[in-house]
Amino acid sequence: MAFQANLELLPNIAKITISGELDASVAPAFRERIEEAAEASPKRLVLVMNDLEYMSSAGLRVLVFAKQKMGAGIDIYVVGAQPQVVEPIRQTGFHHSVVMLDSYDAERIENV
């Protein structure tokens, strides 16, 4: 499956739905979506990863960039990540910097 990163701006929330394989060749496209999201000054960044099949270290670096770009006061939610995507996030300890959710919980995420 080809990589896609679609940005949706909601009140106070930037939601990026990611699918396919996130590797070094497409990491710049993901980074662009992060930069667009940051320009909207959301209170939360939601990364929906249900259909993300693979994430390389380059993709993980973009997640770290997202945390830096959004700032310490912005919560980042990683939603629906598959085990092969969760594993590198946990191995690096980055799961301590984001909120990991199995599914999109509108009650929890959207009540900012």
Neighbours of 56 (CB within 10 A): 16
Give me the residue label for tokens 């191995």.
91
Domain count of the chain? 1
Q: What is the pLDDT of residues 25-66, one digit of tens each?
A: 999 999 999 999 999 999 999 999 999 999 999 999 999 999
Give the pLDDT band of residue 112 (cuts 50, 70, 90): low
Token reading at 89: 């996030």
Q: What is the pLDDT of residues 68-92, one digit of tens each?
A: 999 888 999 999 999 999 999 999 9
Here the CATH number for the domain that contains residue 92 is 3.30.750.24
- Global pTM? 0.94
Token reading at 21: 């394989």
Q: Which domain holds residue 51?
A: 4-110
